[in-house]
Amino acid sequence: MELVQRVIIPAPRQAVWQGLNDPAVLKRSLRGCETFEANAAGGFDIVLQLKVGPVKASFRGEVSLTDVVDGESYTLSGSGKGGVAGYAKGSAHVTLSEPEPGRTEMRYRVDASVGGKLAQVGSRLVDGAARKMANDFFGEFIRVICDDDQVEFILETIEE
Amino acid sequence: MVEKSIGQRVLRKEDVRFITGKGQYTDDINLRGQAFAYFVRSPVARATIGHIDVSDAESAPGVIAVLTGQQLAKDGLGTLPCGWMVLSKDGSEMKQPPHPIMAADSIHYAGEPVAIVVASTYQAARDAAERVVVDYDELDAVVDLATAQDSDQIYPEVPRNTSYEWELGDREATMAAIAGAHHVTRLTLRNNRLIPNAIEPRAAIADFNPSTEELTLYTTSQNPHVVRLVLTAFIQIAPEHKLRVVAPDVGGGFGSKIFIYSEETAVAWASKRLGIPIKWTGERSESFLADAHGRDHLTDAVLAMDEEGHFLGLHVKTRANMGAYLSTFASSVPTYLYGTLLAGQYKTPNIYVEVDAVFTNTAPVDAYRGAGRPEATYLLERIVEIAASEMSLSPAEIRRRNFITDFPYQTPVALEYDIGGYDASLTKALEMADWDGFESRRGEARARGKLRGIGLSCYIEACGIAPSKVVGSLGAGVGLWESGEVRVNPTGSVSVLTGSHSHGQGHETTFAQLVASRLGISVDDVGVIHGDTARLDFGMGTYGSRSLAVGGSALSSAADKIVVKARKIAAHLMQSDEDSVEFDDGVFTVKESNRSKTFQEVAFAAYVPHDYPDDLEPGLAEKAFYDPANFTFPAGAYVCEVEIDPDTGVTRIVKFTAVDDFGEVINPMIVEGQVHGGLAQGIGQALLEQCVYDDSGQLMTGSYMDYCMPRADDLPDFDIAMTVTPCTHNPLGAKGCGEAGAIGSPPAVINAITNAIGIREIDMPATPERVWRAIQQAGGQ
């Protein structure tokens, strides 16, 4: 699955960048996330409950940040194993700009793939599930960093 | 009064237990103290295995042991063999990478077993399997058959991922015939990959007795003796005399239960290691991933003709997907069960076929109902249909011009057809289908906004597999004879033991009819025993539509021997000599006298031999081994009529006519049932079924949400009839009927669809999407 989206967030770029690097913010933004902790390798250990169609499992894995350009962009990549349910892996390349003070434009390209039982019985549902997960994550992320449940923002899909 | 039961529609004796839920399948068997197994399978298609950590799983509740492929390899067990050696064009042997029982160091398809968790309950085993941590170092999978030979090499010892490059026929003569022809028809097509889907998933229970060192394996097999032989000779699980293999009631096989798989082998090994009975019952999900799949060919073909549409030469080049390993009989399917059938019903003088067997990171591919013959028939009947159109001949006429009419007939691709009557089947099918009235039905459908089409297919198959001498010379590792035993009990009832195995075919009825008829007794007095290596000497099992033609012929010989012995006993009882005693309809009579003894009286005397002469042995039981002299050649003509909704692309089969020549028939009801089932599977392939892997080797069609099976409402009422040319070389005149429907029907369906839309080609399965697109491309109506 591939997805490219753009959001306009009513917050300064530095606040958005800090959120993108704060495990507590990321954990709150990720639905079903039970653990999101910094590890010794500079990444994060995560435990995540995922449900795709008939397959529901707890995935354990690692998230790492690469290609970091401070305040501007990074790539968030992760992979997780769900035991008999199979595995999931994905990455999101995120870039930030501030077209006007106090408003940040965030673009991200998400790639995701699955294997094992998740692919076998849930393949046709994976795209939809991954897209929903990305939408939910970034939507929630914006609400968290703006600290406003009602915050208004513009989200548009550029490619999928 | 005993009716001659051959030819009668005797209701199936086994159905009482099947339809009342009283069948005894492998999963119905429970042994005292049994533990349950669950397999840890690779989620990736190609990888190197690093560390396997079982400590967490071992400490999970209820877990008895976690055993890995690495431990299995250390125990020195063999690998799963492929039983048929195929040679390449250059004379070199096929390349056969080791097929491990469980993967030890590398993974070659998604779903390959890596470890087995044994626990006190199934749930505990399943839960603990989640805690087995395997490090996979994933590699790029080779998935696409079309590019696999030029892709990354999967096995170091297999260049171009090609197991063998096989050929059959005269290359020069065929090329010359094509070069000098008036017209050539070319066709490239794919025979879609199928997943077998027997209603009963595979299962096994292994029970090792440490004190006697005897191992009993209950398993869902079509050939328990072959399982025993392979487990002993190749895997070294246990010596043959200490290994009993039982295949009880089995819920469908379609070929997929011929093979010796990882799971029953691993369960047997685990039971031996742990000294307890262990049961494994596959989930449906595991069937999709790890049952051997079927078909999956890519083929280019050229058919050359003269001015009048007589076939001059046929050149076929096929790439066959073998999956990740060579399964038990995989190598024979795209070669000796495919290339040899490319003459079809036609006297094409020059045929040359080349087959490359290609490895990919997908589940192994092996025999599935028809095995090679559906692929040959589909190719041939599609190219003949297109040739008819290009030569402006009717589909029936081009076939008639090329039919073989003189028998025996030696084809250019190794087989010798003993007999057939192709025009008779075709004529009857056209008549039943009202072929001549089709155009008015097409017009009527058009008025309703529907596209109506009609398609023909004339198939042949080689079954009654197989003459041991012939298959031995072609590389088979086993002989393909069959055994049978007829045991007459003292009260005159009869127990019949057969090396054939019934997994839905109705042998308990057909074989009872056969033997009852030979001995002049009631069908109710004959019981059929099969599927247990402890109860009969040996048997080669059931596949390739062989049970009646080969297994039934063995029983026929055994029954003949019973009559010979019983006549001696009757002569003694009636104080006559054996030559003066006649046997008819269950009664022994001294010629030109009123002295007679019934079969039952003779049976009783056989076991109470108080006044026997010295040269007469007590008892009345006889065995026979039957090795066929040739294959049998069932053939037939199928006509399919479809209506397509151009707005949705949905194809409805409105009429299907099948005329088959199976030789002599023992139970027409059972034969018709076999035809119905075969047609349903063939129509499933043509319209619905398709196994799909994604680029990384993940199975995308791994459940019934994505793999579409035919249902009752996808199928019409079938119009079925038979023509009969009796097989010339077996005592029954029977040819075999198990696979015909699946062989003959796919091209009939596709020919009907191309006829309806007015196009040359469409791929199977002709799903509504494909049909709709084809209609759009053809410019609407």
What does the pLDDT look like over A27-70, one tens digit per residue?
999 888 999 988 888 889 999 888 877 778 888 899 898 999 99
Percent of chain A with pLDDT strictly greater than 90? 33
**Quick one: pLDDT band at residue A119, thresholds 50, 70, 90?**
confident
Lowest mean pLDDT of B85-94, B146-155, B278-287, B609-618, name the range.
Answer: B609-618
DSSP state of A30: S
**Type of residue at B718:** F
pLDDT of residue B3: 55
Round to whole Å and give the CA distance between B662 and B719.
16
**Quick one: pLDDT band at residue B465, thresholds 50, 70, 90?**
confident
Nearest to B706 among A87, A113, A124 (CB): A124
B interface test, pick of A55, A62, A87, A117 with most B CB neighbours within 10 Å: A117
Average pLDDT estimate for B613-620: 92
DSSP conformation letters of B307-341: TT--EEEEEEEEEEEEESS--TTGGGTTTTTTGGG
Place of tokens 């995308």: B700
Entry pTM: 0.93
Is there a contact between B167 and B73 (Cβ–Cβ < 8 Å)? Answer: no
Average pLDDT estimate for B751-760: 98
Q: Left (φ > 0), alpha (ψ -120 to 50) or beta: where does B42 sit?
A: beta
Is there a contact between B379 and B310 (Cβ–Cβ < 8 Å)? Answer: no
Contact A123 B126 (CB under 8 A): no
Residue of A nearest to B40 (CA): A84
* CA nearest neighbour of B454 among B638, B635, B309: B638
Q: For B481-626, CATH number?
A: 3.30.365.10
* CA nearest neighbour of A84 among B357, B44, B104, B130: B130
Q: Which CATH number fits domain B297-466+630-777: 3.20.20.150, 3.20.20.70, 3.30.365.10, 3.40.640.10?
A: 3.30.365.10
Alpha-carbon dihedral sign for residues A94, A97, A102, A103? negative
Angle among Cα B331, B333, B337 to the nearest 5 degrees reads 130
Is there a contact between B197 and B709 (Cβ–Cβ < 8 Å)? Answer: yes
On the question of a common fold for B297-466+630-777 and B481-626, the answer reads: yes
- Per residue in B215-255, pLDDT (tens digit) is 999 999 999 999 999 999 999 999 999 999 999 999 999 99
pLDDT of residue B781: 46
Residue of A nearest to B284 (CA): A121
Is there a contact between B247 and B498 (Cβ–Cβ < 8 Å)? Answer: no
Chain A residues with CB under 8 Å of B288 CB are: 120
- Per residue in B83-102, pLDDT (tens digit) is 999 999 999 999 999 999 99
Contact A83 B694 (CB under 8 A): no
Is there a contact between B493 and B525 (Cβ–Cβ < 8 Å)? Answer: yes
Mean pLDDT for chain B overall: 96
pLDDT of residue B548: 94
Partner residues linked to B117 by β-bridges: B38, B66
Is B349 a residue whose pLDDT tops 60? Answer: yes
pLDDT of residue B766: 98
Helical H runs in B66-223? 69-74, 122-129, 171-179
> Residues 129..158 of B with a Cβ closer than 8 Å to A: which?
129-131, 133
The tokens describing B45, both together, are 């298609």
- Per residue in B27-57, pLDDT (tens digit) is 999 999 999 999 999 999 999 999 999 999 9
Q: For B31-139+199-252+257-290, CATH number?
A: 3.90.1170.50
Distance (Å) of CA A114 to CA A55, A130, A159, B124, B659:
12, 10, 20, 26, 48
Is A122 a residue whose pLDDT tops 90? Answer: no
Inform me whether the C-beta atom of residue B705 falls under 8 Å from chain A C-beta atoms: yes
Average pLDDT estimate for A6-17: 92
The tokens describing B174, both together, are 């065929």
pLDDT of residue A151: 86
Chain A residues with CB under 8 Å of B698 CB are: 114-116, 119-120, 123
Distance (Å) of CA B333 to CA B82, B375, B744:
12, 10, 17
> Residues 106..125 of B with a Cβ closer than 8 Å to A: which?
110
Chain B residues with CB under 8 Å of A113 CB are: 696
Neighbours of B106 (CB within 10 A): 17
Inform me whether the C-beta atom of residue B183 falls under 8 Å from chain A C-beta atoms: no
Q: Which CATH number fits domain A2-159: 3.30.530.20, 3.40.50.1000, 3.40.30.10, 2.40.50.140?
A: 3.30.530.20
Distance from CA of A61 to the nearest CA of B (A): 12
Round to whole Å and give the CA distance between B419 and B632.
9
Contact B698 A87 (CB under 8 A): no
Partner residues linked to B598 by β-bridges: B587
More confident residue, B501 or A84: B501
- Per residue in B694-714, pLDDT (tens digit) is 999 999 999 999 999 999 999
Could you tell me the residue ranges of all domains in chain A?
A: 2-159
Chain B residues with CB under 8 Å of A123 CB are: 694, 698, 700, 702, 706
Chain A residues with CB under 8 Å of B703 CB are: 120-121
Residue B497 has phi, psi (to 5 degrees) of -115, 130
Average pLDDT estimate for A81-86: 80
Radius of gyration of chain A (CA): 15
Alpha-carbon dihedral sign for residues B434, B440, B443, B448? negative
Round to whole Å and give the CA distance between B669 and B666.
9
Could you tell me the residue ranges of all domains in chain B?
A: 31-139+199-252+257-290, 297-466+630-777, 481-626
What lies within 8 Å, CB to CB, of B341 at 6+ separation is B372, B373, B376, B377, B413, B415, B460, B461, B462
Inform me whether the C-beta atom of residue B285 falls under 8 Å from chain A C-beta atoms: yes
Angle of helix B262-274 versus helix B224-233 axis, rounded to 10:
60
Task: Report the side by side order of strands in the sheet with B106-107.
Answer: B106-107, B47-53, B133-138
Distance from CA of B41 to the nearest CA of A (A): 8
- Per residue in B249-261, pLDDT (tens digit) is 999 999 999 999 9
pLDDT of residue A150: 87
pLDDT of residue B500: 94
pLDDT of residue B1: 35
